[in-house]
Structure formats: structure tokens, C-alpha cells
Amino acid sequence: MSRILVTGGAGYIGSHMCWELVGRGHEVLVIDDLSTGHESSLPPGAILLRGQVGSAEIAAMLAREHARSPLAGAMHFAAKARVDESVRLPDLYFAHNTQQTLALAGTLRDLDVPWFILSSTAAVYGNTSGDLIGEDHAVAPASPYGESKLRAEQGLRELFAKRGGSLAILRYFNVAGADPEMRTGQSTPEASHLIKLAAQTVVKMERAQEREPKAGATASASQMIIHGTDYPTPDGTCLRDYVHVMDIAGAHLAVMETLAKPREPRVYNVGYGKPYSVREVLACMREVSGVNFPIVEGPRRAGDVVRVACDSRRLQAETAWTPRFANLEVICKTALAWERRLAASTP
């Protein structure tokens, strides 16, 4: 059993990670400012330090905690993660995702915490070419969000080149779904991602139906908009590699096992390599929910790339990672089950 730092542990991916770690007998120390996370998402026994990861207050708290019981390593999930917001507020993204990350990494270096895993993103690749994207694909972020993560990657590489210890960078593709046991899920109400929005749309229609069972007009209670139908893809809509959040947590567990001994910094893409179109995702959500929510065709969304699909061969070759939920139906079903649960707990 080890003691592991999980920043953003009360958030979407971080909370799944905490449950997985605790389930394997580890102790988790969480840093979260609760700006989008919820304390109720944490597993029993998790210790929460509330604040900004790079602040002096958190550095002092970490030093005390580390002296009491040493940290084996850190998984850093805390970040700003909305592409559209990053276009409006780039400085906020560089402050949080780059500067705060490097300040935290500096504190952990001073404490000699052996390893660090950074949550990064396929957004660092920008517009991609070729079939599957490997880690050596050129990086050219198309948004300040992607750029802020890339700069964090670069800063960490420099820091680890000097300090020793192990660094791993995980670049996630489109994370979706929820814990099948419903211990946690994506609770951020203003999420902008396709599967979360489709699940919210289903639940809105179901609630409207409950309130006014006879009103056929409830069909207009909510709808999904497809952002662009003229892309050069088989059905005209964008293709994405949707990966279940539990497989993201599983990738961290598998990578963590390789970091016990110091090693060169390593980058891993995390995804399945099988992309789905927007139309396919919406059809799947209609199918698993039994709710035929309206689908409207809209114009392209600024900044969207046509096709993103992951080559995860490096992760599979160098670690024991085996995807357990590589199935769009399971992703949609668990996302929907979580959304229904959230709706049931709010009046």
C-alpha cells in the first residue's frame, strides 16, 4: 500500500481514480479547490486539502503531510478543461494548467516525491493527419487549452531532467462514461462534451414527460445539435475516439506500476483506436435510453478537428493496461445512468 497524491481528486476523472486507488488498498491525499469538483465524490478515507495546487498554503500543507506519512507519487488531474473557455480566457488556462502545475511539481521536487503522472490531452496534437495518432505525431495545439497542457509537459520534462525521479505524461482522447458501480460520475453541470450533453438531454426529456405525461409537446423540451454535417467523413460528422473514464483510471494504475524505479520521461496516448461519428454517438444514446430526442443539424463549431483516433500500442506494450470498457454502448449507458442518478438527487 502506498500513499498517493491525487490533485483534482474531487473532479470527474480524479474521483474515479481515487475510488480505484482506494479499492486497491492505497491511501489518497487529495488537493482540490472544489471549483468544479464535489467532496461527496471522494471515497471514504480520502484526505482533502482544499486550495490551489501551486499555492504557498498547499505547499506548506503538503510538506506537513509528507513528513507525517511520505507520498509515493502524484497524479495531477486538477486543471481547467474547456476548450471554448480557453479561447476566451487564455491567460486563465496558462495560469492554471501551466504555471500552477510547474509550481506543484517544484514543491514535490523539494519534498523528493519520486514520481509524477500528468493528465494531458490529445488536444496537444491539433489537426492530425494519418489514421491513428501515435505519441510521435507532430504537436500543434489548436486551442489555448491544448497549448497550456503542452507547455506543462515541456516544463515538467525540463524539471525532471534536472531533478531525477520518474515522469509520465498521459494524453487522453475523448473521456466519457461513469463508474459502472455509480460511486462517482461527471457532475459538472455546464459540461460541453457530446456524450454528457446527450445524457442530459435524455434526462430533461424524461423529466418533462414525468411532469406532463400526456403532452406530446414535451419532445421540444430539449434537443441535440450536430455541429457540422459537411465534414469529409462517411456520414459528414466528426469522428472521435471515446474512451471510458474507468479505462483512463486503469491506465494510471498500469503506468504507476512502471514508475517505482526511476525512468526516462514517457508519453502515452490513451484511447481505443476506434473512432465514432457524432451521428453514431447520438444514435447509440437514443438506443440505450429508448428516448428519441430531437437531433438538429447545425453549422460547424469553431476549432473542431475532423478526425481523432488514438494509437495506444505503446501503452499496451510497455504496461499491463488492458481496456475493460471499450464499447460505445457501455460508455453511453454508464453516462446516462449517472445523469439519471444526478437528476434523482436534485429537486
> Contact residues for ligand UDP (CB under 6 A)?
83, 174, 192-194, 197, 224-227, 238, 240, 278, 301, 304
Q: Which is nearer to ligand UDP, 239 or 256 (CB)?
A: 239
Q: How far is the CB of 343 from ligand UDP (least distance, A)?
A: 19
> At closest approach, how far in Å is the CB of 238 from ligand UDP?
3
CA dist., res. 288 & res. 307, Å (int): 25
Contact 44, 30 (CB under 8 A): no
Give the nearest residue (CB) to ligand UDP: 238
Nearer to ligand UDP, 293 or 325 (CB): 293
CB of residue 250 to ligand UDP, shortest distance in Å: 21
- Cβ proximity to ligand UDP: between 42 and 199 the closer is 199
As a whole number of angstroms, the distance between CA 214 and CA 133 comes to 49
- Burial string for 123-147 (b: 16+ CB within 10 Å, else e) reads bbbbebeeebbebebebebbbbbbb
Cβ closest to ligand UDP, residue 207 vs residue 301: 301
Could you give the CA distance from residue 232 to residue 170 in angstroms, rounded to a whole number?
A: 29
* Nearest distance in Å: CB 175, ligand UDP: 9
Amino acid at 337: A
**Which amino acid is located at 316 in the chain?**
Q
Q: Tell me how far, at minimum, the Cβ of 204 lies from ligand UDP, in Å.
A: 13
Task: Report d(CA 93, CA 333) in Å as an integer.
Answer: 32
- What region, left, alpha or beta, does residue 191 occupy, with left being phi > 0 and alpha being psi -120 to 50 degrees? beta
Residue whose C-alpha is closest to residue 337's, from 178, 175, 174, 176: 178
Residues forming the active site: 145
Nearer to ligand UDP, 52 or 201 (CB): 201
- How many other CB atoms are found less than 10 A from the CB of residue 112? 12
